[in-house]
Structure 1
Amino acid sequence: MFRRLISLITLSFCTFSGYAQDFVTYKYSPNVYNNGYAGIADFDLDGNKDILNVKSFSFSEFYIHHHDGTLPINFKATKILQSSYYSAAFDIVDKDADGDMDILTVKGNKIVFLVNKSTPGKFLFEIESLPITFITKTPILFSVDINKDNNMDIVVGDMTGKIKVFYYKSGSYVEYDVDFIQPAPVEGNLHKLRLADINGDGLTDLVAGSLFGEKKGLIVYINEGQSFKPLIVADKITIRDIQVLDFDHDGDVDIISCGNIGNAKTILWWENDLNITNKFVPTTLVTRNYDFDGFNAVDINQDGAWDIVASLKHQSDSNPGGLSLYISNGKLENITFTENKIPDIPKDVLIESMLVSDVDNDGDQDFVTYTEQLWVENRLNTSSTDESKLQSQIILNPNPASDYTI
């Protein structure tokens, strides 16, 4: 097995500081940059979560930020790869089913795996090239058994609007073009691509969102085994981020998106109603006067309801950037959210996306940002009077350029 028309609700928002003291923000890397990607996995199988961060300029650098679980948290940055031919995009998957996590990425116009050969505390990866040629500067990559034949297939999305599936068959790959925008526009358009079994048939479907609203907007591609059937959820809307999860706990996968509908800056819940109406029913969850750059869903207070952590695009002092945690009242029929600003986040930085994971193994969910290299430690489950339980400081270690570099 491989691992791996809007219903508007009147919302009342206020900034509530009740949760603010329960979050502490750190830089997890001394290498600060605002363009790249991040992922979380235990790459060396020592029982602790590592942060894979990739910065991308004229070349890409892959860093693993590792800690050994001792207090205070001590992140050490190890560069595992630097090359002018690598894209920043990647996927994390156990491609060889050996128990550790490998990295799918791009070298030039070739898709490659960085096969994990690490041991506890020491990181080493070997390059395995795949017989796939796809020339693209900004890919979105996934490795997944898309047609349930026990083989790892490759899904590639491109900012020009192309989506391709490379089916693995008998030692080679068969290319299939998934329509997103045909013909492909000159400007970049495919912004987000997610995978989920949307219609509950056991096959992995695709959920795609565009950054420019005059194009497709939000669309689901239903997997029919060897082909995909498009289902437009909403057109002429701008999508900045997408998450796929069972938001209402009814057993099927819903879509949560952030972006623009006309002048409205919103986070929307698209309720999966395919079994009855063959549609997605939208409900507005959160609005603000300026853009959301990205978001994720988390049950932060463990009450069974999904909350939202969102990155806010900076416009002015009246519409500052940063991170906000929106706590749900848990009532789907009349859902409201209370905004809590996460402290110590610079208001004018770009935070496009974030990950949710228990980085410090203390039983609650923390936030990790792609850009600016921020770890927001969640202390909701930790007594504020018991200092022995707190990760009260973080130590950053510069990376020796020669460490485990491929």
Structure 2
Amino acid sequence: DVLSTSCNFTADSIPDIIWWENDGDENFTAHTIDSTLSYVWSVFAIDMDGDEDIDVLGAAGFDRDIIWWENDGDGNFTAHTIADNFDGAVSVYAIDLDNDNDVDVLGASFDAGEITWWQNDGASPPNFTEYTIDDNFYGAYDVFAIDINGDGAVDVLGAAFDAGEITWWENDGSNPPNFTEYIIDNTYSGARSVYAIDLDNDNDADILGAAQGADDITWWENDGSNPPNFTEYTIKGNFNGACDVFAIDINGDGDVDVVGAADYDDDITWWENVGGTPPSFIEHTIDDFFNGAFAVYAIDLDGNDGDVDVLGAANYSRMMWWESDLLDIYDAGIASIDIPSIVHPDTTFKPQTTVANFGSETISFPVTCDIEPGGYNSTRTVQNLAVGDSTQIEFFTEFTFESGTYMA
């Protein structure tokens, strides 16, 4: 199913939070959860009260509220206010922060510049106690939580638009926990979104960010120390109006890819992680005419094909999803690039590759060779490759290898 919010500036009858019920056949039915709030900026779905159904959390900026809606199991929702004086509530997230087996709540306040959490006491319905993590995080815009330093305690991440910061706060594991601030980047202009996942397959959590001012999608590599040091890598510069970032294995090849939304470019794009140390990324545009692209997420929406689809939201009340057929494409087989592992400097030749069709039908598809450094890019199209067949292709453009190390 899909949960959405409309940033409606007035408390009226227009639905502010909608649950779109997926019937499993790519049809969605709208159910209104709440239509009384103003400027609901963020929603999140999780079981808040331990009754094994999915409840809903929301951050309402103009109302200054953090609210959760209790699901009775029959699709009816009852509102419970967690906080009613959280100025410019812009982001909400939920996870067990104090390791007591219930779900606590995190929020970001843009106007107050705060990252705050509310401790769940485990009752049904739960009561919440408020704790401030940071009240000097100017223009707080996004909040996320994950174990950053590998000590078993859930740490907190934040993005601050005005301060241009990506920051994490270390959870010391006490109850309630104390938090120590570590700034990852304080020059990340217009930081809008933060996420964390193991991008380089080394068993620690790396950081992803989207910055509307810097127009960047960026990741910071965690070196695994405690506390970790971070090395910055730009996945995409000039991604104009970068608003949101998310990461998941999109193409089913076992590594984590990245997907982003850019408001000014009207763009939903994903970057294929092709491995390496650090990993390299190949850009694939999903939609470059999604006007005011604002948010992005990825999950298997059609449920019967096992691949990851992409969901996006844009200004002016538009929401769209793009069905993936990438697993079908990858059934064509893995391309083996015919380049020696060691070549003499100043060697020039045309790269070759062999592809095989391990799928269930005859297919045609493009094959692209990228070589970095050097900016080499050449594409050939394979036509009507039958099931079980393989073919070798030679790229038209020559490449000269100078002294150094290359990734093809």
Please confirm whether the aligned pair reaches a TM-score higher than 0.5, indicating the same fold.
yes
Report Cα offsets for 1:170-220 as digits up to 9, x if no partner: 8654332212517xx5xxx112211111111222111111123xx251111
Deviation at 1:385, TM superposition (A): 9.4
What one-letter code is carried by the residue in structure 1 that aligns with 2:29? K
Cα distance in structure 2, aligned partners of 1:102 and 1:352: 24
Secondary structure at the counterpart of residue 6 of structure 2 = strand
Cα distance in structure 1, aligned partners of 2:65 and 2:241: 35
Higher share of residues assigned strand: 2
Where relative contact order (Cα < 8 A, 6+ residues apart) is larger, the structure is 1
Report Cα offsets for 1:210-241 as digits up to 9, x if no partner: 123xx251111101232110001111222222
- Is 1:303 the equivalent of 2:253? yes
The aligned counterpart of 1:341 is 285
Cα distance in structure 1, aligned partners of 2:122 and 2:216: 46
Report Cα offsets for 1:92-126 as digits up to 9, x if no partner: 1112222220012357455432111244xxx3212
Rate the CA distance shift 1:148–1:324 in 2: closer, same or farther, 3 A: same
The aligned counterpart of 1:18 is none
Paired residues for 1:32-111 under 5 Å: 50-57=1-8, 58-59=10-11, 61-70=16-25, 73-84=26-37, 87-105=40-58, 108=63, 111=66
Cα distance in structure 2, aligned partners of 1:237 and 1:128: 36
Moved more, 371-380 or 324-333: 324-333
Cα distance in structure 2, aligned partners of 1:86 and 1:235: 28
The aligned counterpart of 2:346 is none
- Is 1:127 the equivalent of 2:92? no
- Is 1:287 the equivalent of 2:287? no
Rate the CA distance shift 1:117–1:296 in 2: closer, same or farther, 3 A: same
Deviation at 1:78, TM superposition (A): 2.3
1:369 alignment partner, one of 295, 301, 312: 312
The aligned counterpart of 2:262 is 312
- Aligned-pair RMSD on alpha carbons? 2.8
Secondary structure at the counterpart of residue 378 of structure 1 = coil
- Is 1:235 the equivalent of 2:177? no
Rate the CA distance shift 1:300–1:152 in 2: closer, same or farther, 3 A: closer
Secondary structure at the counterpart of residue 298 of structure 2 = strand
TM-score, normalised with respect to structure 2: 0.69
- Is 1:359 the equivalent of 2:301? yes
Cα distance in structure 2, aligned partners of 1:342 and 1:152: 35
Cα distance in structure 2, aligned partners of 1:312 and 1:207: 21
Cα distance in structure 2, aligned partners of 1:195 and 1:352: 21
The aligned counterpart of 1:249 is 201
Structure with larger Rg: 2
The aligned counterpart of 2:390 is none
Identity of aligned residues (%): 24
Cα distance in structure 2, aligned partners of 1:236 and 1:129: 35
The aligned counterpart of 2:159 is 209
Deviation at 1:268, TM superposition (A): 1.9
Secondary structure at the counterpart of residue 326 of structure 2 = coil
Deviation at 1:86, TM superposition (A): 7.3
Q: 5+ unaligned residues in a row in structure 2: which ranges?
A: 330-358, 362-408
* Alignment check: 8 A CA contact 2:64 2:89 kept: no
Cα distance in structure 1, aligned partners of 2:130 and 2:246: 32
Cα distance in structure 1, aligned partners of 2:239 and 2:115: 33
* Alignment check: 8 A CA contact 2:216 2:240 kept: no
* Alignment check: 8 A CA contact 2:144 2:156 kept: yes
